[in-house]
Structures are given as structure tokens and as C-alpha cells.
A = this chain, B = another copy of it.
Amino acid sequence: MKYDGIVTPMITPFKKNGEIDLEATDLLIERIKGYGSSGLFPLGSTGLFSFLQKEERDRFLRYVIDNAHGLPVLAGVGSSSTQEAIFYGKKALDYGASALVLMPTYYITPGQDEIKDHYSRFFESVSGDTFVYNIPQLTQAWIQPETAKWLVSQHSQIVGLKESSGDMRYFSKLMDLKEGDFSIFQGQDDLLIPSLSLGASGGVCGVTNFSDAVVRAYRAYREGSHEKAMEIQLKEINPIIHALQKATFPSLYYDMFYRINEIEGGFRSPMVRPSRDLSELAERTISHVSPEKI
């Protein structure tokens, strides 16, 4: 398979004043590589792409691609507008992204016809490996399994799916698309092992911004140590995820990266710093479940 393993949906590190912190980005990539991730996914939801200005997205993506330490870069090209997504898609390929990750347009809720139109127009203008990204809790657009199948049948650029709905029943319907080199990634860390048990290629897992637990679970599973993989899923990953879910997504992902790396990071408005209580609870959870890792 061309794409598998654990990919990191990167945060976009900020300075205290809310500007992008490229120095911290460097450290972040280094840590992600150290954890064993097999790819970088900048400018996704965890990366808060929707908070960034056009120029910032541009600059950040180039920086990540130029400093990827050999990791493939799957560039998020999401937008509320098809035209803008095309703009980002072209740029990302120019800069050398390995693949693109494209969600449906959001805000104005698209029907299935609008979803098809969006992808079709995109592929009229952009040629490169592309993942279809389903994240209905943010886009409000469910890509129906039939629509996903249609898209894949029409567009050979589609090399895989990133499915982040959190709904395993839906996820399992998409597994019909899994054949040959086609990749299907689970986008929710707490569903990694169940997804692998259905044949998923891997996961796009936010916890890898500050922990290697997900990679260890993945490797254990691939090596046939299903018990161990299950143990890491239930005793390490899930408690971390549950702690992270207590503040507005994805503020604690940022906060944990800053804390663990002792960076005085910031938050891009309107995202506010999580409360001290939730921050400490999350850190305690991480150091409790994976003590040797901090």
C-alpha cells in the first residue's frame, strides 16, 4: 500500500501573541518523527486551518514540506469554497506535497450533488494523489457511501479516505472501497484498533502530536500482538482522548504539546487557552498512562 501506518494531523504551533511559531514547528516535526509517525498532515482540523489567513497557510505548508525530515506530507486543502480549495491544491502540489486531503465544502451544507460537484471541479484543475476527508461533525456534510464509491470510480486521483466521523457503522460501510492500493484511515484515535480489525490502513491520530502511544498500538497490532494493542488502546490512548475532549477541540492538543515540550505557546483567537484544571488533568492523564514516555 502506498499510504498506511499512523499519520499525524499536525497542530499549527503558535507563539504567545498568536502568530505561527516556525521554530516550534521544527521541534514538533522532530518529535512526531521520533514517535514513529509515517506521515505529516498539516492544515487539517487539528491544524486549525480555518483560522489561518491565506498567506499563513501558504507559508506554513511550505515550511512543513521543506522541513519534513523525510516524512511524506499530506496537505490539507479544505475550504468553504471550491475555488479556494483548488487554489490551495495547486499550491500544495507546487510546493511538493506528497498528497492532498480534501473535505467537502462547509458552512453552506452541501447535498450529495454538491459534494460530487466539488470534487469533480477540483479534479478538473488539480492533479495529484488525494484523500477524501469525511468529518461531518465539522462540515455537517456526510459523504454517503454511494457518493464515496462514485467519487472513487470517477477520479483515479483519489488514493484513499480519511474518515473521522467517529461512527464505526458508517466506517465499516466504506471498507467496501478497500482494495489494491486504496487506503482507508481512521481519523479518531480511540477507534484505531477496532478500525484495524476491519482492515483499515492506519490512522490519522492527533495524539501523535505529543505521544507515541498510538504508534505503539499500531505496531503491536501489525505484529500480531492484538492483546497488547488492545491494552494500549484502552489503557493509554482512550484515557488521553477522553481528557482532551473536556475542553473545546482542539485546544488541549496544543496545550499538551506546549507543556510536554516546555514551550510558552499561544492560541489563535477565538480559541482560548484551556483552563488550568483541564490542562493539568490532561497532563496528569498522559503521565499516568504512559509514565516512561514523558
Chain A residues with CB under 8 Å of chain B are 45, 48, 50-54, 80-84, 104-111, 113-115, 117-118, 121, 137-140, 166-169, 172-173, 175-176, 188, 190-191, 193-199, 226, 230, 233-234, 238, 242, 248-250, 269-272
The answer to whether B191 and A197 have CB atoms under 8 Å apart is no
Q: How far is the CA of A175 from the CA of B217 in the complex (A)?
A: 17
Which partner residue on chain B sits nearest A192 by CB separation?
B197
Contacts of A139 in B (CB 8 A): 107
Which partner residue on chain B sits nearest A239 by CB separation?
B176
The answer to whether A51 and B234 have CB atoms under 8 Å apart is no
Contacts of A115 in B (CB 8 A): 270
Q: How far is the CA of A172 from the CA of B234 in the complex (A)?
A: 7
The answer to whether A269 and B83 have CB atoms under 8 Å apart is yes
The answer to whether A190 and B176 have CB atoms under 8 Å apart is no
Contacts of A166 in B (CB 8 A): 169
Q: How far is the CA of A48 from the CA of B167 in the complex (A)?
A: 26
Q: How far is the CA of A106 from the CA of B137 in the complex (A)?
A: 11
Contacts of A110 in B (CB 8 A): 248, 270
The answer to whether B249 and A108 have CB atoms under 8 Å apart is yes
Contacts of A190 in B (CB 8 A): 169, 172
Q: Which of B108, B121, B226, B269 contacts A50 (CB 8 A)?
A: B108
What's the minimum C-beta distance from A179 to chain B, rounded to whole angstroms?
12
Task: Indicate the member of A166, A168, A238, A250 with the most B CB atoms within 10 Å.
Answer: A168
Q: Which of B48, B84, B114, B230 contacts A53 (CB 8 A)?
A: B84
What's the minimum C-beta distance from A266 to chain B, rounded to whole angstroms?
13
What's the minimum C-beta distance from A159 to chain B, rounded to whole angstroms?
21
Contacts of A271 in B (CB 8 A): 108, 114, 117
Contacts of A81 in B (CB 8 A): 50-53
Q: How far is the CA of A82 from the CA of B52 in the complex (A)?
A: 9
Which partner residue on chain B sits nearest A250 by CB separation?
B108
What's the minimum C-beta distance from A199 to chain B, rounded to whole angstroms?
6
What's the minimum C-beta distance from A100 to chain B, rounded to whole angstroms?
17
Contacts of A226 in B (CB 8 A): 197, 226
